[in-house]
Each structure stands twice: as C-alpha cells, then as structure tokens.
C-alpha cells in the first residue's frame, strides 16, 4: 500500500520549521506532502529550499481546513492518506502500527494513533475531551 502523509499549512512557517523535520525523518514508509492553503508568509520558499524531498501542493485559495484538505487530496494517488496537523511531532515507527492494522483488517476506513501532549509527554493530548488521563 502506498501512503501519503499530508500536512495542511497556512502561514505556518514556524510550525513547519519546528515539526516537519520529525515527520520527514520518521516517515520512511510514506510520501510526505505539504498542502499549502495560499500562504502569504515565507512557508512556500522555506519548503522549496529546505525540504525539496517534501512534495508541495499549492491550493489557489485558503478554503479553511476541510476544503484545504479536499482540494489537496484530489491530486494524490496513494492508497492511504494520513492527515497530520502541522503542530505534531512524530516519533520513530509511528506509522507502522497503523499500517499493520490497515493491512490486517480491510474493513478499516479510519484510524488514529494515541497522541501525547507535546509539553507533558506522560499525558495524552485531549483537546478538552477526556481530561488528559
């Protein structure tokens, strides 16, 4: 199965600088894409110069989160899309368990890994849902 890791970006050069290196380094199973949502900062030149191995999709307008991803994904040919926020640091081997589950159970349509809090790595990131337990 071919895998695309897709990061939506809008004026997020600072986040790309901080978090994209971990994605590139720890995602050898995938093609990494940044879908740029018509940024007006230096995101696009930064990507072109610093990450030529990352495929850049340039959306013509900033249609927000859902439209931004929908506009970008229609250009991809991979079998599996991983939609990854631009403020996520991934670790070595993060994709393997997900891909193994997808391979094992052909009925699966969506998965999500556990996400740890960036500043408190002993806690799950919960975005207000479960209290970080």
- Is 13 in contact with 42 (CB distance < 8 Å)? yes
**Is 30 strand, coil or helix?**
strand
CATH tag, 3-104: 3.90.550.10
- What average pLDDT does the segment 79-98 reach? 94
- Residue 123: what pLDDT? 79
pLDDT digits (tens, 9 = 90+) for 108-128: 999 888 788 888 888 777 665
Could you give the CA distance from residue 40 to residue 95 in angstroms, rounded to a whole number? 31
pLDDT digits (tens, 9 = 90+) for 84-93: 999 999 999 9
**Is 5 strand, coil or helix?**
strand
Q: Work out whether strand 80-84 and strand 55-59 pair parallel, antiparallel, or are unpaired.
A: unpaired
- Residue 130: what pLDDT? 55
What are the CA-CA distances from residue 54 to residues 4, 26, 36, 83, 101 (Å)? Answer: 11, 13, 12, 15, 26
Percent of the chain with pLDDT over 90: 82
């Amino acid at each position: 199965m071919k895998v695309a890791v897709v990061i939506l970006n809008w004026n997020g050069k600072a986040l790309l600088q901080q978090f994209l290196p971990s994605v590139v380094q720890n995602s050898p199973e995938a093609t990494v894409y940044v879908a740029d949502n018509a940024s007006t900062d230096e995101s696009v030149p930064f990507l072109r110069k610093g990450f030529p191995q990352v495929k850049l999709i340039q959306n013509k307008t900033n249609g927000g989160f859902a439209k931004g991803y929908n506009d970008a994904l229609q250009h991809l040919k991979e079998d599996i899309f991983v939609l990854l926020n631009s403020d996520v640091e991934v670790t070595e081997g993060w994709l393997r368990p997900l891909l193994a589950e997808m391979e094992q159970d052909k009925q699966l349509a969506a998965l999500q890994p556990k996400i740890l809090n960036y500043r408190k790595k002993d806690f799950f990131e919960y975005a207000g849902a479960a209290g970080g337990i």
